[in-house]
Amino acid sequence: MRPGNLMKAGIGICASLMLMLAAAASLLLPTREREPNYDETKVPAYDLPDPLVTEDGRRVKTAGDWREIRRPEILELFRSQMYGRRPGPPRELRSRVTSVETRALGGKAVRKEVSLYLSPKQDLPRMDLLIYLPASGSDPVPAFLGLNFGGNHSVHPDPGITLPKSWMRPSRVEGAVVENRATEKGRGTLSRRWPVEKIIGRGYALVTAYYGDIDPDYDDEFRNGVHPLFYRPGQTRPDADEWGSIAAWAWGLSRALDYLETDPGIDPAKVAVLGHSRLGKTALWAGAEDERFSLVISNNSGCGGAALSRRRFGETVERINRVFPHWFCGNFKQYGDNEERLPIDQHLLVALMAPRPVYVASAVEDRWADPKGEYLSARHASPVYALLGLPGLPGDSMPGANQPLTGTIGYHVRSGRHDVTGYDWDRYLDFADRHLRKGR
């Protein structure tokens, strides 16, 4: 080799070495968090999949074709590409009423606690339901069912609620510390999100359970929670199209409904499923998978919930997959920074509720969850309701703060931040009165 060539070869080797070192260093260094986009002018141009056009380009013209062809097609896409497929119910769902207090909350309520054993073999995982029913009247009542973030004892200061023994996700929710072991101090810490007296005063039951009973909310490669109960022999984690944690929590909500179908105090044909934030994503997926839920409420569910992914406003698919790798199925990972390839977007998730009533709620300051993207999902689900002869979301522009829109789809953007407030509950109770109590 001539000296010039030798030098060139040397430079080449040095350059490749540098590149390799840089690549290795970038693997070691934490990925620098990208600034979320909060600028409407930077939202990319996008085309949404048409809820009424099938994958092979056929227009859906009848309610029958929606039911028989397009709805199953959309549901299958969400299952295989986003939340993951879930198993059916356990062969035998055992339940045990562990306490009943007929004079709870100063005589206004009946409080019941019920354990659901999710596994036929052992005691865990076990889901503990807390139920408040109005004390007056003997007819079965409609109910709100939602998972909670802090344990059942966090929902109300009522000293009669059994302290959970399960692992709790340590967190700070709007200033209230939720400890990883339940103690007396934790009673009622999240009660402002659960206005129990108001709910029972309006004639509804409230049913709740701690979401970590179903699957603890951290990435342990699906060793704990309900996933391993359903592994094939030799399987160690869900396949790429099988359920992540959101689908597991939603599955748990269906198991709670299985129990409610047997509870004489509840009208199981009138159960509204609701949830906030990641549990709002869960409520939507529960409503999509299980049509026994007769009303569905998403409170500030954001990315992976009601917000359109293609807008990339606030939280994005790339970020949610990276920070919460256990929430969605393996196949969803391919859509980070690649939203245009998604065969679905979240308006189709809202559309899966049709013809049932669905309410999407945002908060003005909750830009991370993209209020406009949540509104647009509700709006673009409307053509499905129209096809079914129902008013979807009224109007054709996003309402101002605290101006609810209510058709069979409801929407509001409340002033204030990411939270569940009395204002939200007043809207949900009115919406439920309108849809679940009609004909009374």
| Residues within the interface to ligand GCU (CB under 6 A) | 277-278, 302-303, 315, 320, 368
Cβ neighbours of 226 (radius 10 Å): 25
Q: Which two tokens stand for residue 424?
A: 């939200």
Known catalytic residue at 171:
no
Identify the active-site residue in 154, 277, 298, 382: 277
Q: How far is the CB of 171 from ligand GCU (least distance, A)?
A: 9
Length of the chain: 440
Q: How far is the CB of 109 from ligand GCU (least distance, A)?
A: 28
Nearest to 221 by CA among 329, 331, 326: 326
Q: Hey, which bits of 118-204 come out as E strands?
A: 126-134, 141-148, 171-173, 176-178
DSSP secondary structure of 332-379: GGGGTT-GGG-S--HHHHHHTTTTS-EEEEEETT-GGG-HHHHHHHHH
Q: How far is the CB of 322 from ligand GCU (least distance, A)?
A: 11
Q: How far is the CB of 427 from ligand GCU (least distance, A)?
A: 20
Nearest to 410 by CA among 432, 440, 437, 389: 432
Nearest to 356 by CA among 273, 293, 412, 402: 293
In the complex with ligand GCU, which residue's Cβ is closer, 158 or 419? 419
Q: Which residues, at least 6 apart from 234, have a Cβ–Cβ distance to it below 8 Å?
A: none
Q: Hey, which bits of 92-242 come out as E strands?
A: 94-104, 109-117, 126-134, 141-148, 171-173, 176-178, 205-210
In the complex with ligand GCU, which residue's Cβ is closer, 271 or 320? 320
In the complex with ligand GCU, which residue's Cβ is closer, 143 or 344? 344
In the complex with ligand GCU, which residue's Cβ is closer, 152 or 245? 245
Buried b (16+ CB within 10 A) or exposed e, 204-215: bbbbbbbbbbbb
Identify the active-site residue in 95, 119, 166, 418: 418
In the complex with ligand GCU, which residue's Cβ is closer, 117 or 327? 327
Q: How far is the CB of 196 from ligand GCU (least distance, A)?
A: 22
Rounded Cα gap, residues 86 and 291, in angstroms:
15
In the complex with ligand GCU, which residue's Cβ is closer, 51 or 304? 304
Tell me if the bond preceding 44 is cis, omega within 30° of 0.
Answer: no
Q: How far is the CB of 305 from ligand GCU (least distance, A)?
A: 7
Q: How far is the CB of 278 from ligand GCU (least distance, A)?
A: 3
Rounded Cα gap, residues 151 and 104, in angstroms:
19
Rounded Cα gap, residues 369 and 300, in angstroms:
6
Known catalytic residue at 382:
no
Instruction: Classify strands 109-117 and 94-104 as parallel, antiparallel or unpaired.
Output: antiparallel
In the complex with ligand GCU, which residue's Cβ is closer, 33 or 139? 33
Q: Which two tokens stand for residue 409?
A: 């789809």
Q: Which residues, at least 6 apart from 94, have a Cβ–Cβ distance to it below 8 Å?
A: 116, 117, 120
Rounded Cα gap, residues 191 and 179, in angstroms:
15
Q: How far is the CB of 245 from ligand GCU (least distance, A)?
A: 11
In the complex with ligand GCU, which residue's Cβ is closer, 134 or 280? 280
CA Rg, the chain, in Å? 24
Question: What amino acid positions are annotated as catalytic residues?
Answer: 277, 418
